[in-house]
Amino acid sequence: MRPIIGITSYVVPATWSVWNDLPSALVPHDYVEAVTLAGGRAVLLPPDDRDADVLRAVDALVLAGGPDVDPGLYRAAREPLTEVRADRDAGELTLLRAALAADLPVLGVCRGAQLLTVAAGGSLHQHLPDVLGHERHRPGPGVYGEQVATFAPGSRIAALMGGDRTIHCFHHQGIADAGSLTVTGWAGDGLPETVEDPGRRFVLGVQWHPEYRRDQRLFGALVDAARTAMKENRTACADR
């Protein structure tokens, strides 16, 4: 069986065929294709903060990119360029906390890495050009910034990325304090690009967009971790 990988999603107005601005649950298909190519079965998870029961039906969780995390969650005032979606914050934090408690494999992408950070007690820079003095992390609407990252020797991300350290970013916020997570990757300007929790089975947050290139190093590692978790769960059930 293919591991089932839950991917968090937006609910936003979308237009196709005869439908115009119809509220729709969606993510870029790049996420789905990246999971499929890695050997997983993608399932979209729209925002829902009632409970995290759906995690009993998935083997790993992808926290997808999207709008800014509410600064109130890290005890900061909202700045003028910060745009939040309370439904995603509430729904995804419900899933994330339950996934961490169950040691479910988690991959956070862009906003997902920031949400991991906030859940770990960390904080964010709300507008990077004000901090760094440039816009290379988000060059323009729909344009990814290409950079070369540096990774901590011996870290999970260093082992996964190997010799190709090129990353593709699209974010105007960034990690200021990683909380209880470990920063293991940096952009050339020193901004954290990767956070990990070495004490868990697989908890990895990347500030860039690996789905853009269907990066099988990261999505493959997530699916492998999910497959291992599946086997361990079957063994535990058989022993009862």
Predicted confidence (pLDDT) per residue in 91-118, tens digit = 999 999 999 999 999 999 999 999 999 9
pLDDT value at residue 240? 45
What's the rounded Cα separation, in Å, for the pair 57 and 220?
20
pTM for the whole structure: 0.95
Structure tokens that stand for 163 in this block: 């010799």
Q: Which pLDDT score is estimated for 237? A: 46
Q: What integer pLDDT is reported at residue 236 of this predicted model? A: 53
Cα of 206 vs its chain's centroid, Å:
7
Q: Is the pLDDT of residue 229 over 90?
A: no
Nearest-10 Cα torsion for 228, 232, 235, 240: -160
Least confident of 109-113, 118-122, 198-202, 236-240: 236-240
Output the CA angle 61-63-64, nearest 5 degrees: 130
Burial class of 228 by CB neighbour count within 10 A (0 to 12, 13 to 18, 19+): middle
Is residue 223 pLDDT above 70, yes or no?
Answer: yes
Average predicted confidence (pLDDT) for the chain: 95
pLDDT exceeds cutoff 50 at 31: yes
Could you read off the pLDDT of 42-90 as tens digits, one per residue? 999 999 999 999 999 999 999 999 999 999 999 999 999 999 999 999 9
Contact 60, 23 (CB under 8 A): no
- CB contact burial 93-132 (16+ within 10 A = b; e otherwise): bbbbebbbeeebbbbbbbbbbbbbbbbbebbbbbbbeeeb
Beta carbons within 8 Å of 138's beta carbon, 6+ residues apart: 128, 145, 169, 170, 171, 172
pLDDT of residue 1: 86
Catalytic residue ranges: 110, 209, 211
